[in-house]
Structure 1
Amino acid sequence: MNKNIVGAVLTLVVVAGCGKSDPPVGAGAASAPVSAASGAGAPVSVASVRAEKRDYDVQLEATGTVTPLNSVDVKPQVASVVTKVHIREGQFVKAGEPLFTLDARADEANVSKAQAQLQKDLASLADAQRQLTRSQELFAQNFISQGAVDTNQALVDSQKAVVAADRAAIEAARVGLSFSRIVAPSAGRAGAIGIFPGSSVQPGGAPLVTITQLDPIAVSFNLPQRNLDDALQALRSGGGSVNAVLPEGRGKLTGKLQFVDNSVDASSGTVKVKAVFDNKDQQLWPGAFVNVRLAVQTLKDAIVVPQAAIVQGLRGKVVFVVEPGNTAGVRPVEVVTAAGTEAVVTGVRAGERVVTDGRQNLRPGVAVIERAAEAAGGTGRRGASAPIEGGAVAAKAPAASGGLP
C-alpha cells in the first residue's frame, strides 16, 4: 500500500517537471506577438488625410418643395358651349395664345344689334343738328324766338348722349364676344384637359385647363428662427447662393433667395423662405421635394477636416494627427461649423495629416503606419498616404486605457 502511494507521488513530480521544461507545441508562438506588442509597442495601422486651408461656405440645409411662380386655373367667364380646343395636354403655350373657342353666335348678334342702334341714333342726331342750324338762321332774321333755338339745342345735346350710350353698348357687347375666345393668361405648360368640342361649360365649374409656369421656378422651405438674421442678410446682399440638390444624385441647380416671410410661425418656430431657379431643362417639377442649401457666409482661409476625424474626449473634442516621426499626436480642436462630411475647426495647421481611420487604437506617442485611404473604406477625401516602411502592415495594438486627453 505504501509502495503504491510513493509511486503515484513520483509520477506527479515527473509530469510537473516535464511541463515546465517542455512547453506544448505552438504555445510559444501564440505568446510571442503578445509579448512583443506589449513590450515593443507595435505600430498601429491608420489612414489619414491632410487638413485643407481654403474658403468655406457656411450653408443652412433644409428640405424644400418646388412651387411654380405662376399657376392659373383657366375658367370660362360666360356659360356657353365649347366649339374648338386649340391645345394639347402637356403643351407649352405663350401668353395670348388661343386655348379654347366658345359658341359666340349670341354675342355676335348683340354686337350687330348695338351697332344698328348706333346708326339709328346717329341719323337722329344729324336731323337734330340740321334743325338747330335752321332755327339759328331764323332767329338771326327775327322769325323765331330764342326759346325755339334753345329747344333745338337741347334736342341735339340729348341725341349726342344717346349716341355715346350706343357706343358704350357696342363696347360692352364686344367684351361679351371676347369671352368666347379664351387665351393663355401667361406662358407655361398646359395640364390635363377634361373638356372637348360640344362640352357645356359654366363660370363656376371645373377649370378647363391649368397653365403652370416652369421656368423660372421657385423652391419654398422653412428655416429655424435662429437663422432668420442670416436669411435676411443674404436677401439684402442680393439673394446669396442657394443650391437645390436633386434626389438620387441627379445633380444640383443654383439659384437666388427671393423672399423671406414677414412673420415666424408660432407653432413651429420657423420662417418661410423662397428661392428662384432657372429651370430650362425642367429638372425641378412642381410638388417635388429637394434638399436646399443656403450659403449665408464665407469663411476665408478656414481649416477643413473630415468630420469622421473628430473624437469626443474627456476634455473636449480632439483629432489625432500623424507627427513627422510617424507617431500619433493629439490636437484639441473647436468646431466652428460642420455640414455633410466636412467640418471647419481651429487647433489644426493646414497640411497636417489627420487620422480618419484607426483612431480608436491610438494614444499620444504611439507609433503609426499609414495605409491608403481607399483601403480604409474611403474615409479621406483627398488624403495622401505616407510610404509604408518595411513593406508590411503590423497588427493593431490593443487600445490603452486613458489614451484620450
Structure 2
Amino acid sequence: MPRRRRTILPWIVLVLVVAAIAFALLRPHAKTGAGHPAHGHAAAGDTPQPVTEQAARTGDMPVTLTELGTVTPLATVTVQSQISGYLMEVNFQEGQEVHRGDQLALIDPRPYIATRDQYAGQMARDNALLGQARIDLVRYQTLLRQHSIASQQVDDQKYLVGQYEGTVRSDQAQIDSANLNIAYCHITAPVDGRVGLRQVDAGNYVTPGLTNGLVVLTELHPISVIFSVPEDNLETLMARLRAGAVLPVEAYDRTDTTHLSSGKVAVVDNQVDVNTGTVKLRAVFDNKDERLFPSQFVNARLLLDTIHDAVLVPTNAVQNGPQGQFVYVVRKSAAQPEAAGATPAPGDEKSDAAKPARTPADTVTIRNVTTGVSSGTDIVISKGLQAGEVVVTDGTEHLREGSKVTVPPPPGTAAATPGQHRHHHRQAAE
C-alpha cells in the first residue's frame, strides 16, 4: 500500500502544476484601483486601437457580370470550288482585306464555254424544227376546215409542236446551266473580311470536294463575343431586354486589365445549358481597330443593371462572424476637457494652460448587416446601416464590442506636444 501511494503521488503533483499554469495563462488580467491595470500593464479595453474609418454614403452601384468569352466572327467561310477544273489564277494576297463580290480565283472556263456553245447550236436547230412544225400545223388546220385531210393528222401535228417546244425549253436550261458553270469559274468573296493562308496554288486541278477549300475568309468587323451567364441572372436580363434597354458589354484581355473594345448584347440563346446552368449570349462589337481577334479568349463585362441611391461602404469594412456579416460602427464621443471647472493649484496655471483638452476616445459597436452586390472596392448594404454612419475599414483584428478606437493623424501632421505649445507662447510674448 505505501508503494502504490508513492507511485500515484507524482502524478497528482504533475496534474496540480499543469492546472496552476493553465489558470495563470487563461485568467483575465487583474486590475487594481479605479480602472488601472495591475503590474503596470494597460488593459486592452483601456488602450484605444488605431483604425481607419469611413462614413457610409449613398451612390449608384452597377450590377456587373464578368465572364470568360470567346471572340467569334459573325461569318467564317471556307471558300470552295463548285466545279472541277484547273486553277488558272489566284487573285488575292494572304491576309488581304476583301469585299463581297471581289474575285478570289479563276478556274479554266473554256470547257464550259464550249459546252454552252454546243447547247446553243442544239437550241437553234430545235427552234427551226419548232417553227416548221408550227407552220405545218397552221396549214393542216386550214385543210381540215376544207375537209381535205383527216382530223387525226392535225392532232398529230399539234403533239409534234408540243414536243419541239419541250426540246427548246430543255436546250435553254442546258445553256443556263453552262452559263452558271462559267460563272462558277470566277470564284468571288461571299462576305467582307480577311482571307487567311492559301490552301491551293495556281495550276492545280480543283474539285468541289477539297478538304480545306481554297482559302478561309473571316469577317472581322463587326465581330462578336460569345459568353455565358448564370441562369439566376436570366430573369433580370430578359426583363431589361424586353423593356428595350441596350446592355453594354466591355471586352478585356485574359488578365482582365487591358480594355479592348466596347459592344452590346445582340442575342440571347434559346435554352439553358443543363450541364452548367448557364445561358449563352452574343455581344457584337464594331472592332474597327481590330483589337478583337477570332478565337481569342477575353473577359466580357456585362452591365446588367444599376442600383441607384444605394448605401455603400468599402468592401473591407464588412466582416464575417458566427452570426453572419457585420461591421464595426464608430460611436463618436463629444469633446470634453478633463476636469473642467477645477481650480488649478498655485504655480500650475502655466502648465495647465499649455495642456490640450483631453477628448474621450471613440468606441465601436458591432452591427449585423445584410449585403448586396459589390464592385472591386465598394459593397451595397441593403439592411442594417444608414448613410452617414462611420464604419471601421482597417484595423479590425483586435476589436470587440465597446472597444476604444482612435484615428492616427496623416503622416507629417503629428500633433504638437505641450513643450512645443510653451515654445510658441514664449515666441508670441517676445
TM-score interval (norm. to shorter): 0.7 to 0.9
Q: What secondary structure sits across from 1:161 in the alignment? A: helix
Return closer, same or farther for 1:52/1:388 CA change in 2, 3 Å cut-off: farther
Tell me, yes or no, if the aligned pair for 2:109 and 2:182 is still in contact at 8 Å.
yes
Return closer, same or farther for 1:45/1:155 CA change in 2, 3 Å cut-off: same
The aligned amino acid for 1:230 is T
Structure 1 counterpart of 2:374:
338
List aligned pairs for 1:44-123, cutoff 5 A.
Answer: 44-123=49-128
Tell me, yes or no, if the aligned pair for 2:88 and 2:107 is still in contact at 8 Å.
yes
Structure 2 counterpart of 1:27:
none
List aligned pairs for 1:3-402, cutoff 5 A.
Answer: 38=43, 41=46, 43-205=48-210, 206-238=212-244, 240-248=247-255, 249-325=257-333, 327-330=362-365, 331-345=367-381, 346-363=383-400, 364-371=402-409, 390=415
Tell me, yes or no, if the aligned pair for 1:56 and 1:300 is still in contact at 8 Å.
yes
The aligned amino acid for 1:55 is D
Aligned residues: 346
Q: What secondary structure sits across from 1:360 in the alignment? A: coil
Which protein has greater RCO, CA pairs closer than 8 Å, 6+ apart? 1
Tell me, yes or no, if the aligned pair for 2:260 and 2:292 is still in contact at 8 Å.
no
Residue deviations 1:338-393, cap 9 Å, x none? 24332111333334444332232444452412455xx8xxxxxxxxxxx966169x
Equivalent-residue separation in structure 2 for 1:40 and 1:320 (angstroms)? 16
Tell me, yes or no, if the aligned pair for 1:114 and 1:169 is still in contact at 8 Å.
yes
Q: CA deviation at 1:302?
A: 0.7
Equivalent-residue separation in structure 1 for 2:414 and 2:369 (angstroms)? 30
Q: CA deviation at 1:36?
A: 8.5
Return closer, same or farther for 1:334/1:116 CA change in 2, 3 Å cut-off: same
The aligned amino acid for 2:250 is N
Query: What TM-score does the superposition give when structure 2 sets the normalisation length?
Result: 0.71
Residue deviations 1:147-193, cap 9 Å, x none? 33333322222211111111111111112222211111222221221
Query: What TM-score does the superposition give when structure 1 sets the normalisation length?
Result: 0.75
Tell me, yes or no, if the aligned pair for 1:234 and 1:257 is still in contact at 8 Å.
no
Equivalent-residue separation in structure 2 for 1:339 and 1:204 (angstroms)? 54
Equivalent-residue separation in structure 1 for 2:57 and 2:261 (angstroms)? 26
Equivalent-residue separation in structure 2 for 1:140 and 1:303 (angstroms)? 104
Deviating more after overlay: 360-369 vs 89-98:
360-369
Residue deviations 1:66-110, cap 9 Å, x none? 111211111112222211112222222222221111111111111
The aligned amino acid for 1:368 is T
Q: What secondary structure sits across from 1:359 in the alignment? A: coil
Deviating more after overlay: 36-45 vs 46-55:
36-45
The aligned amino acid for 2:415 is G
Return closer, same or farther for 1:101/1:371 CA change in 2, 3 Å cut-off: farther
Return closer, same or farther for 1:87/1:148 CA change in 2, 3 Å cut-off: same
Gaps of 5+ in 2: 1-38, 334-360, 418-430
Q: What secondary structure sits across from 1:340 in the alignment? A: coil
Equivalent-residue separation in structure 2 for 1:174 and 1:37 (angstroms)? 102
Q: CA deviation at 1:208?
A: 1.1
Tell me, yes or no, if the aligned pair for 1:131 and 1:152 is still in contact at 8 Å.
yes
RMSD: 2.9
The aligned amino acid for 1:358 is G
Equivalent-residue separation in structure 1 for 2:285 and 2:416 (angstroms)? 54
The aligned amino acid for 2:372 is V
Equivalent-residue separation in structure 2 for 1:165 and 1:144 (angstroms)? 32
Tell me, yes or no, if the aligned pair for 1:82 and 1:101 is still in contact at 8 Å.
yes
Deviating more after overlay: 308-317 vs 136-145:
136-145
Q: What secondary structure sits across from 1:227 in the alignment? A: helix
Return closer, same or farther for 1:161/1:72 CA change in 2, 3 Å cut-off: same
Q: What secondary structure sits across from 1:193 in the alignment? A: coil
Identity %: 36
